[in-house]
Structure 1
Amino acid sequence: MNYMENENLLPAIWAGMECTISRTHDDFHDQLACGGYYTNDYLDHVLQLNPKAVRFPILWERHEPVQGAAIDWTWARSQLNKLREQGVAPIVGLLHHGSGPAFTDLADPSFPGLLAEYAGRVAQAFPWVQYWSPVNEPLTTARFSGLYGHWYPHKKNDRDFLKMLINQAKAIVLSMAAIREISPEAKLIQTEDLAKTYSSPALRYQASFENNRRWLSLDLLCGKLTEKHPLYNYFIDNGISAADLRFFQDNPCAPAIIGANYYITSERYLATDLANYPVHTHGGNGQHAYADVEAIRVPIKQANGPRVLLQELWNRYQLPIALTEVHLHCSREEQLRWFKYLFDVAAELRNSGVDIQAVTAWAVLGSFGWDQLLTCKSMNYESGAFDISAGYCRITALGTFIKNLPLKSDAYEPLLAMPGWWQRPSRFFKYHNEPLLSNAADIRPLLILGKRGTLGRAFFHICNRRNIHQVSLSRQEADVCEDLSALLKFYKPWAVINATGYVDVDAAEDDPSACENLNTAAVVKLASACQRLNIPLVNF
């Protein structure tokens, strides 16, 4: 049975748990253990989103910590069987930003064969699984482990970076071969960061290098890294043999679906004018000193953004694509806007002929420590479609929105109609006059009553910070002791916050009737008016 066929006009919805088992020096950190996933069965909650597929981890470090030891498949089997019973396709991942168990690492020459042996054992346990991602984001992992030194084995040079990239790519080829010995119809879904670099004129050579580098993992797997490749000599000059590169030409392992992971930081801008950018962004390449910043924070004249990058990906490989990680750590409104933004981009491209299969609600249970790139022992939590921070699983506004896709939700429309922070002029390091993408006058507002009070002012500032279109009125503009039906019909708010109230305790004792009138009778009158017009009311 092919669970993944998608002949609909819109991309399918997939889901995935952030599941990294990261290693810094000798410390392993398991995202799912941190979130209590192994002891709390959250999969039933994830399935509420009605995903067509779920990226599911059976990670090497957890299941084979000791080489060759017997593996307990109890937990994995119960989870996979649940997916199978619901007709949801599992996409099984074996290594997610990890370096493998303690008996190996990314630079170990034995690494590819060892992962392939483990892949074969997983396939024997679950021969019915059709979709596999043996290694998540091999290029990104090689950069963070071999070029930047953030993750184990903490190297910082091109030679180790390329060695780790080659090892992971070879591990994917050998793992898929081992899996296909058990399940000949097994398909590879290869994930990678969807990145691009832009620059000031003096750094175009560096941007060009990085823009060739961004394709390396997929070029290797597709057998495209030949002597004509612009970075072929980069490999040779850093100790990678021609035989190592020829292996991929002789054993191409093109993905059935390319998994593109696009984040707000995926596109970068390199600038030589260091004074205009924060000190922590300063670096260089030995030839130039420059700032490396998020491209979204610079007014770039070149075409950019996920639509451009996905089109480039399609043009280069002509293979089906899925957005396999869609997540933003921000307010609930911005999370909603980000998911809708990328879903709409994917839908538009699909309708134009680009084979975009799915959009994935990633970090569906939230994630730990990514604000520090998993380099610190203190792991801050950020929620996703669900929030598990309190020890139980609570669906968030984002989860409710995804659950109802592709249906339009009027409840969220006033929030979704406002541009995300990545679309507003305030995002730039230096002010840049840029037209807004929406006209607030056409959007139903949130109505705040009592704008001069402490509570009303607080809501006003919160709405401005989170770009929630609001109208704030004072008691002189809207006296809650009067019938406000006409005012509500005029503004047509999607909700009302009543921040008015008699808060002077001493005065209330001297004039209890005035206090009762404002805090009780007026609220009843306002609630009745809101009820008649089907407008939600929040009162304090």
Structure 2
Amino acid sequence: MTETPWYLDGRLHYGVGIEDTFIPQEAVGHRKLDEYELTQHYARWESDLELVAESGAEFLRWGVPWYLVEPRPGEFDWSWTDQVVSKMRALGLRCVVDLMHYGTPLWLENAFLNSSYPERVASYARAVAERYGEVWTDYTPLNEPFVNAEWTGQNALWPPYLHGQDGFVRIMMQLARGMVRTQQEISTVLPEATFVHVDAGFLYEGETSPLPRSLMELRRTLALDLITGRVDADHAILPYLTEHGVTASDLEWFRANAVTPDVIGVNYYPRFSNGRVEDGAFTPVRSDAWGLRRLVEMYSERYGLPMVITETSLVGTPAEKIEWLRDSAAELHALRAEGHPIGGFTWFPFFTLVDWLYRFDQKRPDEWFMEFGIVDLVRRADQGLERVPNEAFEVFQRLAAEGRGQ
């Protein structure tokens, strides 16, 4: 008898995530951005995992630093990840593995634009699954493809530093090919693996410029439409793709190699996921559960697949975080009662992160601390970052316990 997947067992599972952006490439005015290094997770990983378990979380979104695990093409160093995986097993933590959270290894010339990127990332993903498949069964091939294509292909902020819509499309096509090949390769060695596709849930209000709102909304789901083979001659985004160099044979490849995620991961931040776009600048305009409901309804109607809220949190006081924990949980319970298959809720990030803008100046990491977490980072005299749970930690514990008792 086939076991019911965890995300379909009728419960709302509570999880957390540790911010895992890795942009190791340096340039003039652009310093290395490694969130594990900046938050001292490499040194404190064991106590961090113990704190995750103490929170009551049943699962953890956690990423592999590809650039360190594969320091040279085809050569792997598992010395650190072996320890982490062993600890996760001992704690009984399910890991939803972030295989690609933005950055590529230093040796991959031109990063995502490299012609071998789709096969390189798939080969690395297969190696991870081969080594850890007995413990890690849940995989995200690539986190937030839309945001990735914006920062690397449209806004020239991360390698390979492309500009404009042509750059956005070129990078998105590479990312999507890599996602398909990653799922295919992992499935070869782990046929029962669960694939969690994670999308950034931006919502747009009013008219947008320079791109019209209708196109902005189509771009938001472009990666998922590509990998599932939905982009055909009748798709509304086809003229945009064709204008920027996508050929019929490109799209035929995706239709011939279509893959379907098991779960759609929806990322929603109440203070910056909804907004207006004017002259390319995004201005947040809402801060409530309306957007969370809207995204769940949209993805449910479009794809009809199980969902997990893979990221949500806010920068604010503990009282504000507690309010959002309760409001978002209540909204998810209401949506579940209406028939939407939502199997999980993830507070992400678990503790303080360093704002990505740290990469572009010389200020100390502390000056870029963003207090999203239910655990704060506090710099001590010895320069260590102490983990200090705030009041929202206990509320999360109670909600997680209620989830386990459903």
One-letter code aligned to 2:294: V
AA aligned to 1:401 is V
Task: Report Cα offsets for 1:284-334 as digits up to 9, x if no partner.
Answer: 5xxxxxx6421328x9xxx95221221011000000111101121122221
Residue in 1 that maps onto 2:6: 4
Q: Which residue number corresponds to residue 342 of structure 2?
A: 356
Partners in 2 of 1:180 and 1:7 — Cα distance?
Answer: 22
Indicate if the aligned counterparts of 2:59 and 2:94 stay in contact, CA closer than 8 A.
yes
Cα offset for 1:368? Answer: 0.6
Two-structure CA RMSD over aligned residues (Å): 2.4
User: Is residue 388 of structure 1 aligned with residue 390 of structure 2?
Assistant: no
- In structure 2, what is the Cα distance between the partners aligned to 1:25 and 1:157? 22
Aligned equivalent of 1:74:
79
What is the match of residue 116 of structure 1? 122
Task: Please report how far the alpha carbon of residue 259 of structure 1 lies from its aligned counterpart in structure 2 after TM superposition.
Answer: 0.6
Q: Which runs of 5+ in 2 are unaligned?
A: 380-384
Q: Which residue of 1 aligns with 2:307?
A: 321
Tell me how far apart the structure 1 counterparts of residues 359 and 304 of structure 2 sit (CA, whole Å): 34
With normalisation by structure 2, the TM-score equals 0.88
What amino acid is aligned across from residue 398 of structure 1 in structure 2?
A: A
The whole-number CA distance in structure 2 between the counterparts of 1:91 and 1:305 is 24
**Equivalent-residue separation in structure 2 for 1:244 and 1:307 (angstroms):** 34
Pairing 1:294–2:299 present = no
Structure 1, unaligned runs of 5 or more: 272-282, 285-290, 409-540
Q: Which amino acid aligns with 1:65?
A: P
Asked if the contact 1:117–1:178 (Cα under 8 Å) also holds between the matched residues in 2, the reply is yes
Residue from 209, 222, 226 that aligns with 2:228: 222
1:226-245 aligned within 5 A? 226-245=232-251
Q: Which residues of 2 match residues 122-161 of structure 1 at below 5 A?
A: 122-128=128-134, 129-161=136-168
Q: 1:2 deviation in Å?
A: 6.4
**1:2 to 1:352, Cα distance in 2 relative to 1, 3 A:** closer
Deviation track 1:199-229 (CA, whole Å, cap 9, x = no partner) reads: 15x9697111111111101111221111111
Whether 1:86 and 2:72 are equivalent positions in the alignment is no
Equivalent residue number for residue 404 of structure 1: 398
Answer yes or no: is 1:258 the counterpart of 2:252. Answer: no
Identity level (%): 24
- For residue 136 of structure 1, give the secondary structure of its aligned residue in structure 2: coil
Q: Which secondary structure does the structure 2 equivalent of 1:322 belong to?
A: strand
**Match of residue 249 from structure 1:** 255
Measure the CA separation in 2 of the matches of 1:346 and 1:106. Answer: 35
Distance 1:175 1:246 in 2: 18
Could you tell me how far apart the structure 1 residues matched to 2:105 and 2:80 are?
A: 20
CA shift, 1:349, in A, is 0.5
Residue 442 of structure 1 corresponds to: none
2:276 to 266, 269, 272: 269
Rate the CA distance shift 1:407–1:256 in 2: closer, same or farther, 3 A. closer
Q: What CA distance in whole angstroms lies between the structure 2 residues aligned with 1:171 and 1:59?
A: 17
- SS of match in other structure, 2:240: helix
Q: Please name the residue that 2:43 is paired with.
A: 39
Contact (CA 8 Å) 2:68, 2:105: kept in 1 or not?
Answer: no
Quick one: which amino acid aligns to residue 200 of structure 2? D
Contact 1:3 1:52 in 2 (8 A): no
* DSSP-derived class of the 1:223 partner: coil
Give a deviation string over 1:476-533, Cα, whole Å, max 9, x none.
xxxxxxxxxxxxxxxxxxxxxxxxxxxxxxxxxxxxxxxxxxxxxxxxxxxxxxxxxx
Shift of 1:107: 1.3
Which aligned pairs between 1:493-532 and structure 2 lie closer than 5 A? none
Cα shift at 1:339: 2.4
3-state secondary structure, aligned to 1:98: coil
Distance 1:205 1:125, change over 3 A: closer
Q: Pairwise mapping of residues 181-192 of structure 1 onto structure 2 (< 5 A)?
A: 181-192=188-199
User: What is the Cα deviation at residue 14 of structure 1?
Assistant: 1.3
* Mapped pair 1:107 → 2:101: no
Partner of 1:197: 204
Alpha-carbon separation, structure 2, partners of 1:346 and 1:89: 21
Per-residue deviation, residues 352-378 of structure 1 (Å, max 9, x unmatched): 1000111101110221124x3754443
Aligned-partner Cα distance in 2 for 1:14–1:402: 9
2:13–2:345 Cα contact (<8 Å) kept: yes
Tell me, in whole angstroms, the C-alpha distance in 1 between the residues paired with 2:308 and 2:259: 18
Matches of 1:406 and 1:45 in 2, distance apart?
14
Decide whether the 8 Å contact of 2:24 with 2:34 is kept in 1: no
Q: Is the 8 A contact 1:3 1:89 kept in 2?
A: no
Deviation string 1:181-215 (CA, Å, 9 cap, x unpaired) is 21111121010101221215x96971111111111
- Secondary structure of 1:178 counterpart: helix
Q: Number of residue pairs matched?
A: 383
Q: Separation in 2 of the partners of 1:24 and 1:115?
A: 17
Matched with 1:446 is none
Which secondary structure state, in structure 1, belongs to the residue aligned with residue 345 of structure 2?
strand
Cα distance in 1 for residues equivalent to 2:294 and 2:361: 34
Q: d(CA) in 2 for partners of 1:376 and 1:327?
A: 26
Q: C-alpha displacement at 1:23, in angstroms?
A: 5.0
> In structure 2, do the counterparts of structure 1 residues 59 and 407 end up closer, same or farther at CA, with 3 Å as the change threshold?
closer
| 1:452-491 equivalences in 2 (<5 Å) | none
Mapped contact 2:125–2:182 kept (Cα < 8 A) = yes
How many Å separate the matches in 1 of 2:387 and 2:209?
47
* Cα distance between partner residues in 1 of 2:210 and 2:104: 33
Question: What per-residue deviation string (whole Å, max 9, x for no partner) do you get for residues 356-413 of structure 1?
Answer: 111101110221124x3754443311331212333222212122211111579xxxxx
1:82 CA drift (Å): 2.3
CA contact (8 A) 2:55 2:396 kept: yes
> What does the per-residue CA deviation read over 1:75-116, in whole Å, with 9 as the maximum and x for residues that have no partner?
212222222233322111121122443423011111111111
Contact 1:24 1:375 in 2 (8 A): no
CA–CA separation in structure 1 for the residues paired with 2:16 and 2:190 = 24
Q: TM-score, normalised by structure 1?
A: 0.67
Shift of 1:25: 4.8
Whether the 8 Å contact between 1:325 and 1:362 is mirrored in structure 2 is: yes
* Structure 1 equivalent of residue 182 of structure 2: 175
The structure 1 residue matched to 2:33, chosen from 22, 25, 29, is 29
